[in-house]
Amino acid sequence: MSGFSASALSCGRLDRCKGFPIDGVTSPRPYGAHFVNPFTDFRDSFGLKPMIALHALTASTSISEAYLPVLVMLVVAVGFAVVNLILSRVLGIRKPNDVKLEPYECGVPTIGSARTQVNVRFYLVALLFLLFDMEVIYIIAWALSVRQNAAVAGFMPFAMILMAVYMAILLVGLLYEWKKGALSWT
- Separation of alpha carbons 135 and 140, rounded Å: 9
Give the helix/strand (H/E) hosting 157: helix 155-180
Does residue 40 touch another protein according to CB under 8 A? no
Minimum gap (Å) between residue 24 Cβ and another protein: 20
Minimum gap (Å) between residue 21 Cβ and another protein: 12
Site for another protein in 47-76 (CB under 8 A): 47, 51-61, 63-70, 72-74, 76
- Please name the amino acid found at residue 146: V
Nearer to another protein, 24 or 93 (CB): 93
Q: Which of 44, 50, 66, 45 is nearest to 16 (CA)?
A: 50
Nearer to another protein, 24 or 56 (CB): 56
- Number of residues this chain uses to bind another protein (CB under 8 A): 134
Site for another protein in 104-133 (CB under 8 A): 104-106, 113-133
Which residues contact residue 102 at a Cβ distance below 8 angstroms, ignoring those fewer than 6 apart? 110
- Please name the amino acid found at residue 80: F
Q: Which of 15, 2, 16, 5 is nearest to 47 (CA)?
A: 5
Does residue 43 touch another protein according to CB under 8 A? no
Minimum gap (Å) between residue 135 Cβ and another protein: 6
Site for another protein in 77-106 (CB under 8 A): 77-78, 80-82, 84-85, 87-89, 91-96, 98, 100-106
Does residue 7 touch another protein according to CB under 8 A? no
Does residue 24 touch another protein according to CB under 8 A? no
- Separation of alpha carbons 66 and 29, rounded Å: 41
- Separation of alpha carbons 37 and 44, rounded Å: 9
